[in-house]
Structure 1
Amino acid sequence: MAVESARSTENPTSIPIRVARVAFAVLTAVTLGFILHDGASDPTFSVVNYFSYFTVLSNVLTVVVLGIGGLVDPRGMHWQLFRGAVTLYMVITGIIYAVLLSNIEVGIAGQWTNDVVHRIMPIVIFLDWIVVPARQRISESQSLVWLTFPVVYGVYTLIRGPIVDWYPYPFLDPRSQGYVALVIGLVVLTVAFVLMALAVNAIGRLGNKWRYGEASAGVE
């Protein structure tokens, strides 16, 4: 434990990167606030629905990761696991948007807000994961635990959807596609998410090797 604690304080993140983290955290928070404020002008707007978008939740977590990472710069194992998880969620957000939602109305206030939450921030937090990787080695099984949140989110959405007659994303809506197509789609998404989790972890390890050298790549 003493060795891990000592190593977690080595190689503190540079001041420019920490400043950039805070700046992007503020940008994301302002963007989310703007979307919320803009939506509130619509009498049909629901705050619960707003926070039922995976995009919104993953961006809220991004504010936490970048804000704390910039102000405090924790380096312990639990924090790195949390960083990796949120990085995965934003990668999912960016890829799913690009593949399935780019030509669909997703309830975002304007083009600039859409670009921030769906395009810019997934790239920013992914680059942060590469440039300042976890010093400790994260196993494949640990990276798969990151999928707990998407699974819980999916269950929540499918249970709540019929109750309120609303689904945040068309690929989670059985009303138009039927349950057979929904199940097939969820299986495909699950496999894709597993591959994304493993890829995010593997790329983080490459970043570790690049920044800290071969010897540190096996630190537990």
Structure 2
Amino acid sequence: MSTAESTTWWIRAYRIGFGVLGIVALLWIPLRNIDSATFSLTNYLSYFTIESNILTVVVLLIGGAVAPQNARWQSFRGAVALYMLITMVVYAVLLAEVDVMLNDKWINDVQHRILPLVMLGDWMLVAMTRRMRPTPLLIAQWLTFPLVYGVYTLIRGPFADWYPYPFLDPREQGYVSLVIGLVVLTVVFVVLAVAMASLGDVRARWRDRAPTT
């Protein structure tokens, strides 16, 4: 797939379509609970799922409207695809049976399954002018946001007396278990980041490796 093909109308159309779906899913719970005394917009926005979905909407809508091709944008696009992959994997492994404020099945499906798969497919199959390489600098840049999110959550938690996810809550598991769990998650995130960088525009990688005749 050439760079010109990467901005064809149908690619722009599905990006905008899924971007609009993401907006609806993000607004559904706050609008439904606007008069609820127990609903906290700050807590809602403090979920990694919500933040990664907000970034996804930005990427999809901009990608649909103008489809940037510069390296900085492609790196940002890859980072957001990584965050959505993290969202999908962590939810499936650790949070499927946990109440994370998303009781509507369709919202759960959109934010934890559909949009992550859309971002993963878009990253793997839509051509780039220059493919990403899994360099230590790129991996460090991509993982800065999850690191900052973790620090923010652990600092805010004691003041708000609230943590978005059980594996980030030291009140019952203690700090030793918390640190061990975070180390394991960090290793998993690094592996996912390397895989994501390696899989960008995978069709071009296959084409480059094909033997010439």
TM-score by length of 1: 0.89
Question: For residue 88 of structure 1, what is the amino acid of its counterpart?
Answer: L
Alignment-derived partner of residue 202 in structure 1: 198
Deviation at 1:109, TM superposition (A): 4.2
Distance 1:173 1:133, change over 3 A: farther
For structure 1, list consecutive stretches of 5 or more residues without a partner in the other structure.
1-7, 216-220
Query: Given residue 59 of structure 1, which amino acid in structure 2 is its aligned partner?
Result: N
Alignment of 1:36-185 (within 5 A): 36-140=30-134, 141=136, 142-185=138-181
| 8 Å Cα contact 1:35/1:109 also seen in 2 | no
Contact 2:11/2:64, CA 8 A, preserved across alignment: yes
SS of the residue 1:168 aligns to: coil
C-alpha distance in structure 1 between counterparts of 2:83 and 2:67, whole Å: 20
Q: CA deviation at 1:67?
A: 0.3
Give the C-alpha shift of residue 9 in structure 1: 6.0
Q: Matches of 2:119 and 2:36 in 1, distance apart?
A: 31
Mapped to 2, the partners of 1:137 and 1:25 lie a distance apart of 24
Count of residue pairs the alignment pairs up: 206
Question: Alignment partner of 2:200: what SS?
Answer: helix
Of 13, 19, 25, which aligns to 1:19?
A: 13
Q: What is the aligned partner in structure 2 of residue 3 from structure 1?
A: none
- CA distance, structure 1, for counterparts of residue 88 and residue 43 of structure 2: 20
Q: Which segments of 5 or more consecutive residues in structure 2 lack a partner in the other structure?
A: none
The alpha carbon displacement at 1:205 in A equals 5.0
TM-aligned CA distance change 1:12 to 1:122, over 3 Å: closer
Deviations 1:148-185 (A, max 9, x none): 00000000000000011000001000001110000000
Equivalents in 1 of 2:35, 2:96: separation in Å? 24
Which sits farther off after the overlay, 75-84 or 125-134?
125-134
Cross-structure match for 1:32: 26
> Which one is further off, 153-162 or 140-149?
140-149
Q: Quick one: distance in 2 between partners of 1:93 and 1:12? A: 26
- C-alpha displacement of 1:29: 0.3
Of residues 159-168 and 137-146 in structure 1, the stretch that sits farther from structure 2 once superposed is 137-146
CA distance in 1, matches of 2:178, 2:127: 36
User: Cα gap change, 1:99/1:133 in structure 2, threshold over 3 Å: closer, same or farther?
Assistant: farther
Aligned CA-pair RMSD: 1.6
State the identity %: 54
Shift of 1:207: 3.4
Cα distance 1:110–1:154, how it changes in 2: closer, same or farther (>3 A)? same
